[in-house]
A and B are shown apart, each in its own frame.
Chain A
């Protein structure tokens, strides 16, 4: 059964594409597909994943191992559970270096201390010898970022990297990601459910719903003139500091599971604008003249 379908994404060097959606929309599966690290029984049935022109979907496991952690690195949501509890953080960073670079143990250790310093960890020499449980949540996330940076990857996939953190720590981590992108020029695929965080990070935004991208464009296009009814409803229902509504305009119902999807538009049952055509066929993701791509029969009919 397809869980994620017909997704087309492109990220340029030095820029950040944010993938936004609610839980179950398939945004994390896209991350695992790019890494070719799908859960058991999952696979990429069709399509191309290309990194600088090389198709990752056609590579064997050995070649993929040379790319993972080296040219593509990942930052995860739960910094506690994403670190192995029985190894020091220094050793876990050094492992990436030893796997991909021609370094001996001593040089790898030295380099991992430098990396800890570069992500703003005080006393990196001491901290390298600490186990994950001895660090705070924010520090653990910095360690994961240092680990991802170890081999200066071309693409960093950050899957909800600040969701588990307090808001002041989140601000520190987001700024850190900005600095690092400027310094290393990596492309970032930033996965999040939070429009606030996304608007601070993204050059471009793709909105996902029930396994498909339903709207895609520059950050300004999506945040200032969203066209898809789902994007608009989602933005309107998000509580914000600069605007106080008496009631939040709610989106009724819930996201259909992969078992409940049919040939029509997956959002139509929650949509205020649905017409007969929405049940008949799934709308293509196309751009009207002078606008950005949107997968909606109603939007695309009103030229």
Chain B
């Protein structure tokens, strides 16, 4: 097996006293979608910003296509940055309202001084075609488009430099269901066509179930479970993952209660619980959980299913 495209080991990020991401390790292969799931405050966006090179980690190592990126100067980072792009949740605020689409799409090319003006415009048309927008789009401004079309433009921009890795932070959360499915299909097509790797950050498990190859579940800065899509949905092992899956409302008739899935709110990352950070809300918590934080470990030598729980094998 070749080296993974993205290789993070022990990645941490603190803001003051708050540990937003705590010693996270993960690998992403070319052509693979790794979904990052978690609730607000879980640190998934911070991790995404580190992997997209927008935020330097406080500790740990990160390699993109075999190049170390931690501790590099802006200048040294620039060639690596070409390979890593980001798509944001809100397609309104991530597009400059005073720039034409042509300007927005050629800006990355101009930043890297790639091609003549004519070549850049030709590339912009090619990009629009890839995301299913007509050439006439070039001379228009972002506000003239609907939310779904704007998200297509941000995707086209992300593709401009032929990246190998795209971090998509809640890319369909702001969209209506019918538009959401168009964008999800587009992302899947582009992955196929350009052998892209995605880090797909989302709070929506149904969307993740649809698009992900592997899934990492985060809780209060830690990855608590990491598995292939099939394994995670078939045999969720961490009690938090189990609660999360149970909380997703199924589409089937019958007015019903879910029954207490998880009690209370997640604790503040500024003041995390001792030991396993999930223990105050966990039905299986024991004294061990209160004192010692579990490691993220594979369950057996043959499986890639990783869980961070002292009682991974006891719960049903």
Contact = CB atoms under 8 A, between A and B. Distances in A.
Contact of A248 (B203, B210, B248): B210
B184 A239 contact: yes
A139 B253 contact: no
B257 interface: yes
Interface string B172-190: 0000111111101100100
A175 B204 CA distance: 19
Interface stretch (A65-73, A162-170, A277-285): A162-170
Interface of B: 39-40, 146, 148, 176-182, 184-185, 188, 203-207, 209-210, 233, 243-263, 265-266
Contacts of B181: 237-239, 248-251
24 contacts: A166-B40, A166-B203, A168-B262, A171-B246, A171-B262, A178-B257, A193-B176, A194-B249, A196-B250, A199-B250, A199-B254, A218-B253, A223-B251, A237-B178, A238-B251, A241-B205, A241-B209, A241-B250, A247-B188, A248-B181, A250-B181, A251-B181, A252-B182, A254-B179
Interface in A119-159: 136-139
Interface string A17-29: 0000011000000
Given A22-B178, A166-B266, 8 more contacts: A166-B39, A168-B39, A193-B177, A197-B249, A200-B249, A220-B253, A241-B206, A242-B252
Contacts of B252: 199, 223, 242
Given A138-B265, A139-B265, A241-B206, A195 B251 contact: yes
Interface centre among A169, A222, A235 (most CB of B within 10 A): A169
B247 A168 contact: yes
Given A171-B247, A241-B248, A244-B210, A22 B265 contact: no
A242 B250 contact: yes
Interface residues of A, number: 53
Interface of A: 16, 22-23, 136-139, 166-172, 174-175, 178-179, 193-197, 199-203, 218-220, 222-224, 233-235, 237-242, 244-245, 247-252, 254-255
